[in-house]
């Protein structure tokens, strides 16, 4: 779609949120209104009603919205002063609260029809209700006003909206497929991870099968970065709070920190990130310009106190495994270091069939208070990243306002098989933290200089990446990544000894194999292996024993006929080594 089409679709979705609010007000006149923005695939509106809407009411609301749509009510926008706005919305405490927060004396008001529905709004609508496209209300949720748990709880009603019926239907089909691929269901089905009420929400426990996947991902990453000079370090999971006060994280993210009281008066923090610790390894001895760059890496867990309502399987957790690395370098080394990391990203992701788009995330112009450092530092950092991308010939999408609080970053956004976008790898340029910790090196002229710090993650969160992979592949992971790569299935107990010998040969070749020794029918054994998404089954019966072969059945090719075990092992080891 073009930018103009995107803008028009946003206007349609925003207008539909107003139509939803109008429908609720028509059916329940006591309705008070929170916010109602457009979203990536539709819209939502927060409502305060005396008796909550239920899932069964969504059809009723849709019918009322269709009536308003077919009425072709004109949408107009006007500016009024705050006194008039207070009179217009005297009945709605949420609108009155918003009015008081506007800096200008004039506020925006949206009119639907001739006084049919009036709401507070900055604008951005289609000309009339008939032009809002095709929509479907999907679900309800409870939310706190302004996200503050001390304020009233509202009802949020979500909807989908697209320009055509076909686009809406296609998107609904994708959502249905996403439900089937839900990584939480797959995680249970494939015995990969679990949650325990005794351990707590957002704290996943990985089974042996799930840990295989984690280990394989880490091994693949290590094979790419160790030859490029990344050295592993190890840090504790707890620290004095002073570390995060110095880094700036305490001020910015204090509400997300788990704190622990020591025996004395000291407050300790369970680490929510690793970068401040890594600065202290750098600071442990004098550094020369000849020592740089230093590239520290580790795969380690961090902990963040997310709200319980925001936790979602492995996508949003409280214990987060980061494949973290921090590069300390001179300013003249930035472009080369960014290129090295980009090479790792491209090599790592080439084995997964994602579409990748590069984003340059820079500071927003409207809210500079949320960022550390002065304008000159930020301009220099953003220029360096732009030039680094130009040097490697990579085009990018510029995301204003999406930078980290300490610096701009390059983000790699992947589109999965369900056309959903995920921000995965990231390269973040930091001119602030080294100065806050007083890090230095001696340059060629003998003067003390401050190094640049590059934060780098390839997977991001291992938990979140596993969830994305499970849904992307519908649980059918590639051979190299599958917890069980081969299942050996004897047709009857008479072939158990032969099957055990086959399994031993496969195991000796370094291939993860399971032997199904249970006295079940071969059909049931095959169905079980298919349910567990095993890539390759080796079936042995009387005929295979006599011919000294195995009957190969693969997830991709289906039945491949009888083959010698040496041939099967050779083919499997090659495919695994190539991560095909």
Residues with catalytic annotation?
275, 304, 322, 324, 326, 409, 455
Question: What backbone torsions phi and psi does residue 36 show, to the nearest 5 degrees?
Answer: -150, 75
Residue 325 Cα distances to 221, 297, 408, 460, angstroms = 12, 4, 17, 11
Question: What backbone torsions phi and psi does residue 153 show, to the nearest 5 degrees?
Answer: -90, 130
Token readout for 213 is 């996947």
CB–CB of 196/449 below 8 Å?
no
Question: 196: exposed, middle or buried (C-beta count within 10 Å: 0-12, 13-18, 19+)?
Answer: exposed
Token readout for 534 is 């095993």
Length of the chain (residues): 580
Which DSSP symbol is given to 574?
Answer: H
CA 102 – CA 555 distance, rounded (Å): 60
Query: Computed from CA positions of residues 17, 22, 26, 31, in that sequence, does the dihedral angle turn out positive or negative?
Result: positive
CB–CB of 175/136 below 8 Å?
no
Q: DSSP of 390-444, one letter per residue?
A: HHTT---EEEET-SBTTB-EEEEEEE-TTS-EEEEEEEEEESSHHHHTT--EE-T
CB–CB of 110/163 below 8 Å?
no
């Amino acid at each position: 779609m073009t930018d103009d089409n995107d803008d028009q679709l946003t206007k349609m979705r925003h207008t539909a949120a107003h139509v939803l609010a109008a429908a609720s007000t028509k059916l329940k006149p006591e309705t008070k209104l929170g916010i109602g923005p457009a979203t990536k695939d539709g819209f939502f509106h927060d409502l305060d009603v005396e008796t909550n809407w239920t899932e069964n009411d969504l059809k009723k609301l849709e019918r009322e919205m269709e009536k308003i749509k077919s009425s072709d009510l004109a949408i107009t926008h006007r500016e009024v002063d705050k006194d008039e706005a207070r009179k217009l919305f005297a009945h709605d405490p949420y609108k009155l609260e918003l009015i008081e927060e506007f800096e200008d004396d004039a506020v925006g008001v949206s009119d639907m029809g001739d006084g049919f529905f009036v709401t507070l709004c900055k604008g951005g609508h289609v000309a009339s209700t008939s032009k809002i496209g095709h929509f479907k209300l999907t679900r309800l949720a409870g939310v706190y006003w302004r996200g503050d748990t001390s304020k009233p709880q509202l009802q949020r009603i979500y909807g989908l909206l697209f320009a055509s019926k076909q686009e809406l239907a296609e998107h609904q089909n994708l959502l249905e497929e996403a439900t089937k691929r839900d990584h939480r269901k797959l995680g249970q089905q494939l015995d990969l991870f679990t949650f325990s009420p005794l351990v707590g929400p957002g704290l996943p426990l990985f089974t042996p099968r799930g840990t295989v996947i984690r280990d394989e991902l880490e091994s693949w990453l290590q094979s790419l970065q160790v030859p490029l000079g990344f050295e592993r370090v190890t840090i504790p999971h707890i620290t004095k709070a002073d570390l995060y006060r110095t880094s700036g994280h305490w001020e910015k993210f204090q509400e997300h920190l788990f704190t622990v009281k020591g025996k004395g008066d000291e407050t300790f923090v369970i680490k929510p990130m690793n970068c401040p610790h890594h600065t202290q390894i750098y600071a442990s001895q004098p550094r020369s310009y000849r020592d740089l760059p230093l590239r520290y890496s580790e795969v380690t867990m961090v902990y963040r106190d997310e709200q319980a309502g925001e936790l979602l399987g492995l996508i949003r957790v409280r214990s987060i495994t980061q494949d973290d690395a921090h590069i300390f370098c001179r300013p003249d080394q930035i472009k080369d270091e960014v290129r090295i990391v980009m090479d790792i990203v491209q090599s790592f992701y080439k084995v997964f069939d994602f579409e990748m788009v590069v984003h340059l995330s820079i500071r927003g112009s409207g809210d500079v208070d949320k960022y550390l450092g002065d304008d000159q530092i930020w301009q220099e950092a953003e220029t360096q990243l732009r030039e680094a991308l130009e040097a490697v010939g990579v085009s990018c999408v510029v995301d204003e306002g999406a930078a980290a609080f300490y610096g701009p970053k390059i983000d790699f956004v992947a589109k999965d098989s369900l056309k959903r976008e995920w921000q995965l790898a990231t390269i973040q340029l930091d001119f602030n933290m080294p100065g806050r910790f007083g890090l230095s090196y001696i340059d060629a002229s003998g003067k003390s200089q401050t190094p640049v710090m590059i934060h780098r993650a390839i997977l991001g969160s291992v938990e979140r990446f596993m969830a994305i992979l499970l849904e992307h592949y519908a649980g059918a992971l590639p051979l190299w990544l599958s917890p069980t790569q081969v299942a050996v299935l004897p047709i009857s107990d008479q072939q158990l000894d032969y099957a055990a010998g086959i399994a031993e040969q496969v195991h000796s070749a370094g291939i993860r194999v399971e032997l199904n020794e249970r006295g079940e029918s071969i059909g049931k054994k095959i169905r079980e292996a298919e349910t567990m998404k095993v890539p390759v089954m080796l079936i042995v019966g009387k005929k295979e024993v006599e011919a000294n072969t195995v009957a190969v059945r693969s997830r991709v090719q289906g039945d491949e006929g009888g083959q010698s075990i040496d041939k099967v092992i050779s083919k499997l080891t090659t495919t695994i080594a190539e991560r095909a």
